[in-house]
């Protein structure tokens, strides 16, 4: 029987631009297995991977896995397969992961309920955690399920 699966690990990735910086950072090699020295005419080189060298073209992506391994992903495949993690405020992130691990949803829904009651009874409570979650519910759900990046302090 065929089962359906989803990816559960996040990756880091950047789009390949043939820059010397990227060539050096990822130790890219040419067709002969030599370290790339300057831009090739065909805008293509190879990424050393756990499975051997794999071709990468300009505008493809270099992915980095959980153990620091790299592999190329064609641009069209990358865009169909991956999405950036949502960026959420620090006060919201504290409600997803506490010092005890992944938080229980009950207190979060309580905060949303309080925010809704405050809006009805006292007027709009702009800026609190429940307000943010109400106004960004899709992003909050994605952050809860897939992970997130905490917004930088201003």
Q: Is the pLDDT of residue 121 over 60?
A: no
pLDDT at residue number 130: 72
- Strand 87-88 vs strand 70-73: parallel, antiparallel, or unpaired? unpaired
Mean pLDDT of the 41-55 span? 82
Q: What is the pTM of this model?
A: 0.70
Higher pLDDT, 47 or 128: 47
- The confidence score (pLDDT) of residue 38 equals 52
The percent of residues in the chain predicted with pLDDT above 90, rounded, is: 25
Q: Which backbone phi and psi does 50 adopt, to 5 degrees?
A: -65, -25
């Amino acid at each position: 029987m065929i089962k359906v699966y989803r990816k559960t690990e996040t990756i880091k990735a950047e789009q390949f631009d043939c820059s010397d910086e990227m060539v050096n950072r990822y130790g890219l090699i040419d067709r002969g297995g030599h370290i790339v020295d300057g831009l090739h005419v065909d805008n293509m080189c190879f990424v050393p991977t756990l499975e051997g060298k794999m071709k990468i073209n300009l505008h493809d992506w270099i992915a980095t896995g959980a153990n620091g391994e790299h592999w190329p992903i064609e641009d069209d495949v990358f865009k169909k397969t991956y999405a950036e993690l949502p960026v959420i405020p620090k006060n919201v992130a504290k409600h997803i992961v506490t010092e005890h691990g992944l938080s229980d949803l009950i207190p979060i829904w309580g905060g949303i309920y309080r925010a809704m009651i405050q809006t009805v009874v006292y007027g709009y409570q702009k800026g609190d955690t429940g307000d943010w979650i109400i106004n960004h519910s899709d992003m909050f759900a994605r952050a809860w399920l897939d992970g997130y990046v905490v917004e930088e302090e201003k």
